[in-house]
A and B are shown apart, each in its own frame.
Chain A
Amino acid sequence: GNSVTQMEGPVTLSEEAFLTINCTYTATGYPSLFWYVQYPGEGLQLLLKATKADDKGSNKGFEATYRKETTSFHLEKGSVQVSDSAVYFCALSDLSTDKLIFGTGTRLQVFP
């Protein structure tokens, strides 16, 4: 069945460091891929999405490229801020039902 695998956290970085959070998926066909962010005590916010191979989603300095050949959708940011501290979830959208299948989440901690 469809699944998403994320790197385990926490990821601890200093402000202005480069961020990569790895995400790989298993799916039939070519589902849409998403990154959601969850700040402490809050629900999920859509960070970015990509709907087909080689698409690049971007928002607030974050980027991720839909790589069909490696079944990956890694999240990157060139210079993180303390305010980026949160839990990041990679997800895919099941093609037949639209249900989202999430990874287990990666906690990012950014220190000044």
Chain B
Amino acid sequence: ETGVTQSPTHLIKTRGQQVTLRCSSQSGHNTVSWYQQALGQGPQFIFQYYREEENGRGNFPPRFSGLQFPNYSSELNVNALELDDSALYLCASSLGSGASQETQYFGPGTRLLVL
């Protein structure tokens, strides 16, 4: 059974640029959630995708967007990068959606630095 993988592991961008982060879900999982973890903080929910549709969104602006593909892998896109976007971005996969209360399994994260 393959766990959750993310790419790239590290990334450096400048303000105003755009970035795409990728996530492959654990085998058999159909739901992907994205979280932002600022330094010294707990992860904050960005959004969730279930069967290629957005299924819940946290308090993040529209320049944070995502996709889920038929194989349930996912992308997080951030436009017009700001310095405060510097963080560890975590992807988590699970089976089911909504009120399923299934456990989410996390990938190792992508560390983004915006200069």
Binding site for B on A (CB under 8 A): 4, 31-32, 34, 36, 42-46, 49, 51, 89, 91, 93, 95-105
Contact = CB atoms under 8 A, between A and B. Distances in A.
B32 to A, nearest CB: 11
B106 A36 contact: yes
A100 B41 contact: no
13 contacts: A31-B101, A32-B101, A42-B109, A43-B88, A46-B103, A49-B103, A89-B42, A93-B101, A96-B98, A97-B98, A98-B96, A98-B99, A102-B42
A100 B33 CA distance: 9
A44 B43 contact: yes
In order of increasing CB-CB distance, the 4 nearest A-B pairs are: A102-B42, A97-B56, A44-B106, A99-B45
Interface residues of B, number: 32
B48 A102 contact: no
Nearest to B94: A98
Contacts of A36: 106
Interface of B: 6, 31, 33, 35, 40-45, 48, 55-56, 58, 88, 90, 92, 94, 96-109
Given A42-B109, A44-B92, A98-B96, 14 more contacts: A36-B106, A43-B107, A43-B108, A43-B109, A46-B103, A51-B101, A89-B43, A95-B99, A96-B98, A98-B94, A98-B101, A100-B104, A104-B41, A104-B42
Contacts of B94: 98
A56 to B, nearest CB: 16
A95 B48 contact: no
B100 A98 contact: yes
A102 B43 CA distance: 6
B107 A98 contact: no
Contacts of A104: 40-42
A95 B101 CA distance: 7
A104 B43 CA distance: 8
With most chain A CB atoms within 10 A of its CB, the pick from B100, B103, B108 is: B103
